[in-house]
Amino acid sequence: DSVTSSMAKSAMRAASSQIGRQLVRGILGGILGGSSRRR
């Protein structure tokens, strides 16, 4: 079904975007946070 496929695609995109954001935040937060704390 095209509906189910579209729903799955949208869900995958949302999940991937959220995971990517969390990873970016964790990496940037660790680098920026660590550097700022050291200073």
What is the pLDDT, as a whole number, of residue 23? 93
What is the pLDDT, as a whole number, of residue 31? 84
pLDDT in tens, 1-39: 899 999 999 999 999 999 999 999 999 888 888 776 655
What is the pLDDT, as a whole number, of residue 34? 76
Q: Interior CA angle at 24 toward 19 and 36, to 5°? A: 145
Q: Interior CA angle at 14 toward 9 and 16, to 5°? A: 90
Q: Is the pTM of this model over 0.75?
A: no
